[in-house]
Every structure is written in structure tokens, then in C-alpha cells.
Structure 1
Amino acid sequence: MKNRRDFLIKSTLGAAGLALAPAWLEGAPSIIKNYNKPDSQINGVQIGCITYSFRSLPDQSAEATLKYITDSGLSAVELMGDPAESFAGMPSPTFDRMKAWQLGGRERRGETLSDNEKNELAEIRKAAEAYSQEVAQWRANASMKPFEQLRKMYKDAGVSIYAFKPSAFGMNNTDAEIAYGMKAAKALGTSHVTLEHPSNDAHTLKLGKMGEQFGMAVAYHGHEQQTFDFWDTALAQSPKNALNLDMGHYIAAGHKDLLQLIEKQQKNILSMHTKDRQRPENGKGNVVWGSGDTPIGDVLKLMQKNKYKFPATIELEYQVPEGSNPVAEVQKCLEFCRKSLA
């Protein structure tokens, strides 16, 4: 009874207070609604994050991912496919994907695999091929309702989804999968989808034309193959083709005209991965922000000065220090942005 009486007293006082409040408090309901929600738009520059940054955390569900985002202090995100698609009911993989990435990465780097590891990788790839066919069939018939529900869940928490990156846009994906990916992105409320540049003009033409059909922009990500004119062919093919620039990889490739590239392509950049890497002469390392050669602060100031609207997307790729975790490191990256834009 005491607790109920206290609640009623406080509620009455609260109502009376609002009734007598000055005019500037007329927006109180919206203020209350947005209380304690993240806001990572800093002095005119939207800072976001790609959920790949949280890849090492054990729970990759959409709900857990949302908590990682909000705990990091972020209000905008480039969403990888797994959290959204698992939320929407996509079949779970039947093989160890982490093992596949580890062994496949070692093979690509030219490292020697033991006979057992080679056999294991071959079995994983066989299982992955069967799984890909199962996923393609699921995608062709997937409902968009769960993606709309996820969009609302994120929006209610103060997080907007500006880009979607499922594994649905590759050269081995069906047209039905590509269409699904674009429709899912629209249901999530994004302005564009992202993918690694396929280095295939026919495929960028196809994606651009499908983007026109479904009203969805396609932004191509690059690694160290990025050059000043890397995207020119794709841009000429379709008004829906665009850039998902990666500033760190561009510096690691040895280029020194990053700011000029951004100024040239600013209308075509839909999002920009932000990380600190070293130049080739310094080892090309992915390093803690502020200790490498990537002019992150200068880029952010350029965005602020020229009022560019595309987000700077934190991508955590450096080794998480012992005793820390990805959320804490993303928080540090966000603080670096705040200081740069003060």
C-alpha cells in the first residue's frame, strides 16, 4: 500500500508539474520518449558502425547485436546479414563457419595446411555448398514481415539501419536472392546495400539495373585494390551504383589522395568504413585509432566542413587488447570521433 501511495503521489505531482510547466517544456513527451537513447550524430556528422565489429562476441542474434550497438553509444548502423536473417528464420548453418573462415584464410594467405586440415576444409566446403542451396531456397520465399519488425525494434531503441550487407549479392547468388536482399533492405529502412566489389563489370551492371528495378542503391566496398578511379565503371553503368569507401584500406594500398577522392566522389559515397591502417612502408597494420597513418580526424573535419551526409562507419578490425572487448573498443573509436569533431 505504501508503494502504491508513493506512486500515486509522484504521479499526481508529475502531472501537476507538467500542467504548470513553461512553454519550452511542451515537447516533454518526445523528450521522455527519446530519453537514454544513443545519439552518435556529432556536430553534423553521423557516426555509425558495421556490426562486423562485434563478430567475436558469442551471441550474434539481432537482439544481442542491438544491445552491443546501444551500449557502444551508436544510433546508426550498417547491419550484416546474419543477425537480421536469423531473426527472419533463415536456416542455421550445418558446419563450423568460424573454422571455415580460419582454414580458408590460411589457404588464401599461402600457409601450409596439414592433410587433416585440407580434408576438413574440403568437407566444410561441401557442406557449405549444400547449405547455400538451402539458403537460396529459403530466401526465394522469405516473408518481409520479420525485417519490418526488426526495423521497428531497432528504431524503438534509437538505432536507424542505413545499410544492409547479406551474402545475397555475389556472382553465385540467384536473381531471386538478389531481389530478396534488396526487398529486405527496403523493409529494414536502409538507403543502400553493401557488398565487396566483384571486380566483374557484367555483375556490377546487373546489380545496378536490379537496384533501379527495386529502388535500392548498391554501394561497393573495396580493400587494397581501391584506386582513385576504382568505381568509375560501376558508376557509369547505373545511377544506383555507388561507393562504400574504406579509408583504411585505401591508405594501406599506398595512396596519398584520400581527401581528394572523397571530395570528387562525395555525391556517390553512401557510407564510408572508418579504421586506422598503416602505409605499406610502415607495415600496413590495422592499429588502434590515432596510432596509424589514416587521417581519420582530417576526413571527419572535411565531412563536417562540407556538410557531407553519408555516415562514417566504425569498423573494428584491430586486435582487441587483452582485458577489453569489442564494445569497449568501439566506444573508444566513437570517442576519437567526438574529439576530432569538437
Structure 2
Amino acid sequence: MKNQPTRRQFLGATAALVAGAAISSQPLFGSPALLHNLGKPNSLINGVQVGVITYSFRDMPDQSAEATLQYVLDCGISAIELMGGPAESFVGAPKSSVDMKSVFPLMRKRFEKQELTEDEKKQLAEVDTQMKAYRAELTKWRLSAPMSKFEQVRKMYNQAGVKIYGFKPDAFGLQSSDAEIEYGLKAAKLLGANQVTVEHPGNDAHTLKLGTMAYKQGLRVGYHGHEQQTPTFWDTALAQSPGNAINFDLGHYVAAGNPDPLVFIKEKHDRIASMHIKDRQTAAHGKGNLPWGQGDTPLLQVLTLMRDQKYTFPATIELEYQIPAGSSSVAEVKKCVEFCRKTLS
């Protein structure tokens, strides 16, 4: 962002501040805090914590924890929902042979029940076979993973000024054992998260299990939805356990043709763990995912509501519109942050 200092500016400002403190006859109150925070990102904007899910950077060539942190810093963001890949790779997870970047569009197409060509069906079948073998290998690794390395990830991010509020590994699915679920919850706590997020499984027994296990760990499970979201979509899970919560997707909710999302947010704000924000069109306009400010999603109104009502759940940027030629996900996420900053200022 424009107000992100360069290394030279950072060093110069630090030197000036230290020099001023040294020659002043009056104590420089707060100078340790000023020095500690100088140059660090801050996306807590008038009380609204703007964050990002690291899935937004899926087009970037390096998906390591270190590179992902740099993308977040480059965007001026201070809080994140961390996907499993960057964290688990740092801890030592086995690598998958599947190029997820290339298959994400096909997987989404299948998930949204769009028509697939025969070649696409064949490609997905091959990916499913590879992923099944990899999942078995990953599950085995998770049960003996060096958990202290998750603390190293937290320290690395926190020292750079980034708080991990959510963790989203694929360890909470219907196929996951209790031991694997416990692993995911423990990892989340070590990362400093207060919630784990997962696609809603559509299975009441499983949401009861997840909510109960998370609550015992002092965490919440935020269930994410796509166009199957409705005002009552989460009711059963919420009634089952205080450990169950909502990972609301504002854009998908609008595209699905639901009633005014502001009404839903006002009614459920205390059970919303986090909210994904994007700008989608309504069904009447084609349901497109567009650059912010061009779609039908009431981003301005929702962010303003969060500010005025002092809601504390994070507004998580999820970049899903097509990245323009010559740009990158980092550049586009920066635009989204600026949209939020202008709206909330």
C-alpha cells in the first residue's frame, strides 16, 4: 500500500525516533511500543478487523508459510485465516503430486454442479485417485507431526505483526478420525487461532461431534457455505453446541438470492465467527464474481454496520474474481483492503 514504508524509510524513521528519545529532556512515553510496531501492518480499521484467507493467494508460485506471510505483509494486512497448506508444509507434511492450482477451477466447477466435458471428468477422476492416496499419507503424518513447529509459525507471523485468527486444514471432514480432528484443533490453538473453519458437511452427527470437540478445546468451528446458504442454514449446528458457529460468506449468500444479508448479520452476529467478503452479482445479473464495487453485494453497508455496531468478528477478504492481465492476487487484495479502508474511514 502507499503508506507501507520501504526498508530505507523504516530504518530512517527508527533512527530519528531513537535519536529524539535520546536527546529529549522529557521521557518519550510509549516509545518502546512505537519502535515495536513501526513498519508493521494494521488492518484493524475503525474497530473492524479486515483480514484475508490465504486461499486468496493460490495463484502465487510459492505457497510456503514464509512466502504467504510476505504476501499478507505486502497487502498491509494484520490478521488472517490460514489455510492448511502453508502451515503444514512448514511443519513437514509430505508433498502432494497434484498441482492444486491447475485443478481448483475444475473442482469448483464440479462442486457447483456445472456440466463437465469427458476430458474434465477423466482429469478429475485421476486427481481423485491421487488425492485419495495422498490423503492416506497425510493422515498418517498428522498423527505423529512435530506439533511444536506450529508454535514457530505463530511466532514468525506474530513477530511480523500478523495474527492468525482462523485455521482451515482439511482435517475436519466426514472421513476424518477423532484423532485427526484433535490434531487439527491442537494445531489451531498452537497457531493462536480462536476458530477453525470447514465447509459445512451437511451431516448433523458430524457437526455435533465437531462442535463438542472444539468447545472442549476453547475453540469454535465456523461452518462455511456457498450458494446453499439460507437464513436457517446453520440453525441445527448452532443449537447443538456453543462450539459451533458461522463462517458466513456474504457474496455467495447474495448470489443465492437470499433476503437482505444485513438482517441476517444483525440477528446472528454473536454466532458469526468470521465472514468472507467478496462482490458477487445476484442471480438476475448472472451471479458473477466481480472486482469490488461492481457487483450487487452490499459491501459498503455491511462494513459500515460492523463499524457502527462494533461487531468483533473479522471481515475476511476472499479474492475470487478473475485477476486482470498484468496484475496479481497480491495487487488485487491490496485494492480490496483499500476499498475497506475508504469505506470505514
For the residue of structure 1 that corresponds to 2:143, the secondary structure is: helix
In structure 2, distance between residues paired with 1:41 and 1:13? 26
Residues 24 and 298 of structure 1, relative CA distance in 2, 3 Å threshold = farther
Residues 15 and 133 of structure 1, relative CA distance in 2, 3 Å threshold = closer
Instruction: Tell whether the 8 Å contact from 2:229 to 2:253 is kept in structure 1 after alignment.
Output: yes
Amino acid in structure 1 at the alignment position of 2:192: G
Q: Does residue 1:167 correspond to 2:154, yes or no?
A: no
2:55 equivalent in structure 1: 52
Instruction: Tell whether the 8 Å contact from 2:21 to 2:27 is kept in structure 1 after alignment.
Output: no
**2:141 alignment partner, one of 138, 141, 144:** 138
Q: Does residue 1:80 correspond to 2:83, yes or no?
A: yes
Shift in Å at residue 23 of structure 1?
4.6
Report the more deviating stretch, 162-171 or 12-21. 12-21
1:112 equivalent in structure 2: 117
Instruction: Tell whether the 8 Å contact from 2:51 to 2:80 is kept in structure 1 after alignment.
Output: yes
Amino acid in structure 1 at the alignment position of 2:64: S
User: For 1:231-250, what aligned pairs fall within 5 Å after superposition?
Assistant: 231-250=234-253
Instruction: Tell whether the 8 Å contact from 2:226 to 2:253 is kept in structure 1 after alignment.
Output: yes
Residues 298 and 179 of structure 1, relative CA distance in 2, 3 Å threshold = same
Amino acid in structure 2 at the alignment position of 1:35: L
Residues 91 and 299 of structure 1, relative CA distance in 2, 3 Å threshold = same
Shift in Å at residue 12 of structure 1?
11
Residues 232 and 106 of structure 1, relative CA distance in 2, 3 Å threshold = closer
For the residue of structure 2 that corresponds to 1:239, the secondary structure is: coil
In structure 2, distance between residues paired with 1:160 and 1:269? 18
Q: Does residue 1:251 correspond to 2:254, yes or no?
A: yes
Q: Does residue 1:222 correspond to 2:240, yes or no?
A: no
Amino acid in structure 2 at the alignment position of 1:228: P
Amino acid in structure 1 at the alignment position of 2:136: Q
Residues 315 and 100 of structure 1, relative CA distance in 2, 3 Å threshold = closer
For the residue of structure 1 that corresponds to 2:174, the secondary structure is: coil
Instruction: Tell whether the 8 Å contact from 1:139 to 1:176 is kept in structure 2 after alignment.
Output: no
For the residue of structure 1 that corresponds to 2:270, the secondary structure is: coil
2:8 equivalent in structure 1: none
Residues 160 and 90 of structure 1, relative CA distance in 2, 3 Å threshold = same
What does the per-residue CA deviation read over 1:261-316, in whole Å, with 9 as the maximum and x for residues that have no partner? 00001101111001000011000000010011111010011111111111100110
Which segments of 5 or more consecutive residues in structure 1 lack a partner in the other structure? 1-10
Residues 23 and 75 of structure 1, relative CA distance in 2, 3 Å threshold = farther
Q: Does residue 1:314 correspond to 2:317, yes or no?
A: yes
Instruction: Tell whether the 8 Å contact from 2:174 to 2:206 is kept in structure 1 after alignment.
Output: yes
Instruction: Tell whether the 8 Å contact from 1:96 to 1:124 is kept in structure 2 after alignment.
Output: no
TM-score (norm 1): 0.92
In structure 1, distance between residues paired with 2:277 and 2:33? 32
1:39 equivalent in structure 2: 42
Q: Does residue 1:284 correspond to 2:293, yes or no?
A: no
Residues 18 and 256 of structure 1, relative CA distance in 2, 3 Å threshold = same
In structure 1, distance between residues paired with 2:26 and 2:268? 45
1:195 equivalent in structure 2: 198
For the residue of structure 2 that corresponds to 1:164, the secondary structure is: strand
1:4 equivalent in structure 2: none
Residues 210 and 26 of structure 1, relative CA distance in 2, 3 Å threshold = same
Q: Does residue 1:304 correspond to 2:307, yes or no?
A: yes
In structure 2, distance between residues paired with 1:120 and 1:325? 27
Amino acid in structure 2 at the alignment position of 1:302: L
Shift in Å at residue 99 of structure 1?
4.4
How many matched pairs?
330
Residues 24 and 235 of structure 1, relative CA distance in 2, 3 Å threshold = farther
1:267 equivalent in structure 2: 270
2:161 equivalent in structure 1: 158
What does the per-residue CA deviation read over 1:128-166, in whole Å, with 9 as the maximum and x for residues that have no partner? 111111111111111221110000000010000000000
In structure 1, distance between residues paired with 2:308 and 2:188? 30
TM-score (norm 2): 0.91
Residues 183 and 24 of structure 1, relative CA distance in 2, 3 Å threshold = same
In structure 2, distance between residues paired with 1:172 and 1:77? 27
2:189 equivalent in structure 1: 186
Which segments of 5 or more consecutive residues in structure 2 lack a partner in the other structure? 1-13
Report the more deviating stretch, 141-150 or 157-166. 141-150
In structure 2, distance between residues paired with 1:77 and 1:321? 24
For the residue of structure 2 that corresponds to 1:267, the secondary structure is: helix
In structure 2, distance between residues paired with 1:314 and 1:194? 15
Q: Which runs of 4+ in 1 moved over 6 A?
A: 11-16
Amino acid in structure 2 at the alignment position of 1:73: G
Residues 89 and 302 of structure 1, relative CA distance in 2, 3 Å threshold = same
What does the per-residue CA deviation read over 1:95-128, in whole Å, with 9 as the maximum and x for residues that have no partner? 33344434444554222223xx554443332221
For the residue of structure 2 that corresponds to 1:77, the secondary structure is: strand
Greater Rg by CA? 1
Q: Does residue 1:330 correspond to 2:341, yes or no?
A: no
Shift in Å at residue 227 of structure 1?
0.7
Residues 275 and 22 of structure 1, relative CA distance in 2, 3 Å threshold = farther
